Each structure stands twice: as C-alpha cells, then as structure tokens.
C-alpha cells in the first residue's frame, strides 16, 4: 500500500460535516494508492485505465448528488467539489472524468428530467453507466448556440443529424446529453436536449482528439446520421435546451474550478518537496528567500482560488444565486492554476522541463482550464454583464 502524502498546505475544514471530511480523506487515499501509480502510463497512452472505472462507481464517485432512493449518495454539491479537487491533485484527467458525470450529466437529469428519465438513467449512472455532455460543434464554441445539428420529429421518435466535437468522456460513455435544433429558423429557441444512448441506430463515436494535456481524458467527436431517439428521451421541454445548457454549465464551472485547484495543489506539493531536497550553493533551495517568497505567493493565490470555489458551491447548496461566484471561481482558479504550474516548472529549473518530474504534466493539463466550459473571456463577460445589470 502506498504511503499517503497529504497536501502541504492545510485545507479549511470547518464548513464540512464529519461525513464529508471522511469522504474527502477516502478519495485522497484512493487517488494516492490507486490512481497515482497509473498517471504516467495513462498520459502516455492517452486513455484512462479501464480497471479504474468500476472503482469510481464502487467508491460512490459517479452518483454523488443522485438521491439515495435512486442508488446515489444523496450528497451535497460541495462533496463533488471535494472529490474532484482530491482526484485532480493526483491526475486532472481523472478529476474531470468524475466531474462531468456529476456536474453536467447527473445534474442536468436531476433538474430537467422527467420521473421516467430519472428512474431509467440515474440508478445506472450511479452504478455502472458513464455519461457525457455534447453541446459543442466545429462551428460553435463560445457561440454555443449556433448549432448545426438538427432534430426532426418522425412519429414517436426524433431523428437527429449532425456532428458534435470536444465531447469529454465520449470514448467511455454509454449515454450522452446531445443538443440539437428542432426549429433552426427560431435560433436558440429551437435548441432541444436529448438523451442519446450509444446503441441507438444512427449514432457513432468518431475521432478521439490527440491533446496537449489531460490526455487520459477522452475528447471525441460524435456522429449523428439519422439517429433515432424516442420522444420520451427529450430532456426538459422541446425548445428549452438553451436553458438546460446554460443552467447546467453554471454548476459545471464550479467543478472545473475544483479541478484547477486540485491541479495547482498537486504542482505546489511536488515543488515544495523538490525545493527541500534540491541543493545549490551548499544548502537546500528552500532556504533561499527568493524561493520562499514565490512559494508563499503561490500558496496564497491557491487558497484564494480554493475559497472562491468553495463559496460558489456553498451558495449552490444553499439555493442562493451563484452564477457570478461560479464564473469568478472558474476564471480565477483556471488562471491561477496555469500561473502556478508555470512557476513550479521555473523552481524545478531544467528538471521541470523534463518528464522525469510531474510538474510538466500539471503545466500541460492546466492549459485547458481557461478554455473549456467557457473561456476566460466568456467568464469575464458573464461577470460584467450580471454585475452591471
């Protein structure tokens, strides 16, 4: 059994229940013992170790907010944040795998699904079914609602045609939330969300992207060619898909903030170990004031990012407005994760530029944080627009 090394910067605990703290500690131990030995291989091979996925379900990581009567843990949203942070401290690819399942897929079904959809999908998503969320297309990134995917009603089915891009968990998923436009002339008012199973006729998973970072996390194309989806599999109301997308992504941003906080903590932990061990001019690098000041600044900025993320999650749990705090958390955490990972490479010197030490991977993984689930510019726009309203 591997020795568990706790984060070197203490995490605030007072706002969490004893059960939440115990769960966080269990996730931390799992990440250290089960995930860390596989990180380099998964990064090299560009895929998640399949034997880990059943363990995610066994540990209760894949259905945290799902009600107990539907097979989940019935936990608060903050529990997802803690789990994603701890997993991402070891491997952000694993962190986002769990994050998407909870903050996007399960969350959307809980909020928008009929009783039938909840009964059909949530127990499986908590037990053994991986989900994915497919909004983006080649021509619609930040302009998320300029969708070219179309849906036409045909009897008791909808028939979907189009292609989706950048679908996280696309290679492993068995069910997908897919957005298509049922009335293109109405613009975003025609967008509708559909629950699409991998086995539905006319559906296929296409190309898997070869990425700079979070390489073990699959990012795929989805191909819809006359894909028949039962009318009962509409998520929310026809023409209300834009609301499903917007309101789900608000919570998803908190999850990405947690991923970035965990990533930055992992990079900082590795760097503090290194500067204690690395000798220059006859003493550890950690004894030089210039290094100490950089460590102190990074730890302070990381703690600020963590508290922004926790605050947004607590507001969500309390049923209070959290859109601006979520955007702030995602913006600040992703920007700081990239900056901290870069500084950690600097403190490793030439070794930081090699794959012999973990900080180069954290640096590669950090770059996506300012891009997906809303770029930094989109977060700034959201914050400013709502503050000035």
How far is it, in rounded angstroms, from Cα 193 to Cα 259? 26
- In the block, residue with structure tokens 């690395």: 278
The number of helix segments (H) and strand segments (E) in the chain equals 12, 10
Three-class secondary structure of residue 133 per DSSP: strand
According to the model, what pLDDT value does residue 7 have?
Answer: 45
According to the model, what pLDDT value does residue 15 have?
Answer: 67
How far is it, in rounded angstroms, from Cα 218 to Cα 228? 25
According to the model, what pLDDT value does residue 143 have?
Answer: 85
Q: Helix axis angle, 359-366 relative to 241-277, nearest 10°?
A: 160
CATH 2.40.110.10 for domain 132-239:
yes
- CA 373 from centre of chain: 9
Contact yes or no for 11/25 (Cβ under 8 A) = no
Parallel/antiparallel/unpaired status of strands 203-208 and 283-284: unpaired
Q: Helix axis angle, 77-90 relative to 92-99, nearest 10°?
A: 160
Read off the DSSP letter of residue 372. Answer: T
**For the domain 18-130, what is the CATH superfamily, name and number?**
Acyl-CoA dehydrogenase/oxidase, N-terminal domain (1.10.540.10)
- Show me where the domains of the chain are located: 18-130, 132-239, 243-388
Task: Report the CATH fold assignment for 243-388.
Answer: Butyryl-CoA Dehydrogenase, subunit A; domain 3 (1.20.140)
The single residue of 32, 221, 251, 373 carrying the catalytic annotation is 373
- CA 75 from centre of chain: 18
Tens-level pLDDT at each residue, the chain (389 residues): 444 444 444 444 446 888 999 999 999 999 999 999 999 999 999 999 999 999 999 999 999 999 999 999 999 999 999 999 999 999 999 999 999 999 999 999 999 999 999 999 999 999 999 999 999 999 887 887 889 999 999 999 999 999 999 999 999 999 999 999 999 999 999 999 999 999 999 999 999 999 999 999 999 999 999 999 999 999 999 999 999 999 999 999 999 999 999 999 999 999 999 999 999 999 999 999 999 999 999 999 999 999 999 999 999 999 999 999 999 999 999 999 999 999 999 999 999 999 999 999 999 999 999 999 999 999 999 999 999 99
373 is catalytic: yes
Which pTM value belongs to this model? 0.94
């Amino acid at each position: 059994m591997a020795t568990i090394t706790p984060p070197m910067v203490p995490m605030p605990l007072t706002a969490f229940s004893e059960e939440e703290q115990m769960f966080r500690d269990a996730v931390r131990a799992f990440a250290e013992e089960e995930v860390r030995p596989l990180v380099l291989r998964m990064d090299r091979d560009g895929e998640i170790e399949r034997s880990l996925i059943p363990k995610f379900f066994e540990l209760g990581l894949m259905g945290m907010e799902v009600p107990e009567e539907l097979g989940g843990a019935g936990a608060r949203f903050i529990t997802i944040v803690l789990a994603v942070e701890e997993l991402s401290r070891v491997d952000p690819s694993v962190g986002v795998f769990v994050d998407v399942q909870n903050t996007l897929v399960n969350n959307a079904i809980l909020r928008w699904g009929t009783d039938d959809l909840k009964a059909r999908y949530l127990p499986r998503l908590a037990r053994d079914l991986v989900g994915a969320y497919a909004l983006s297309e080649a021509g619609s990134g930040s302009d998320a609602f300029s969708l070219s995917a179309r849906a036409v009603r045909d009897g008791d089915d909808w028939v979907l045609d189009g292609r989706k891009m950048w679908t996280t968990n696309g290679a492993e998923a068995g069910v997908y939330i897919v957005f298509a436009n049922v009335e293109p002339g109405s613009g975003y008012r025609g967008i509708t969300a559909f629950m699409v199973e991998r086995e539905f006729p006319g559906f296929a998973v296409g190309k898997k992207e070869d990425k700079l970072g979070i390489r073990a996390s699959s990012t795929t194309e989805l191909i819809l060619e006359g894909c028949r989806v039962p009318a009962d599999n509409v998520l929310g109301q026809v023409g209300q898909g834009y609301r499903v997308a917007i309101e789900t992504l608000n919570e998803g941003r908190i999850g990405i903030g947690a991923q970035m906080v965990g990533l930055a903590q992992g990079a900082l932990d590795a760097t503090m170990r290194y500067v204690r061990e690395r000798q220059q001019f006859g003493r550890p690098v950690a004894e030089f004031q210039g290094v100490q000041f950089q460590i102190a600044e990074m730890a302070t900025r990381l703690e600020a990012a963590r508290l922004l993320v926790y605050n947004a999650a607590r507001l969500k749990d309390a049923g209070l407005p959290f859109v601006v705090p979520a955007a702030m958390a995602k913006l600040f955490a992703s920007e700081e994760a990239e900056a901290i990972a870069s500084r950690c490479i600097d403190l490793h010197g030439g070794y930081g530029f090699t794959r012999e030490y973990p900080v180069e991977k954290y640096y590669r993984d950090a770059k996506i944080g300012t891009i997906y689930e809303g770029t930094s510019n989109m977060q700034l726009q959201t914050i400013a627009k709502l503050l000035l309203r």
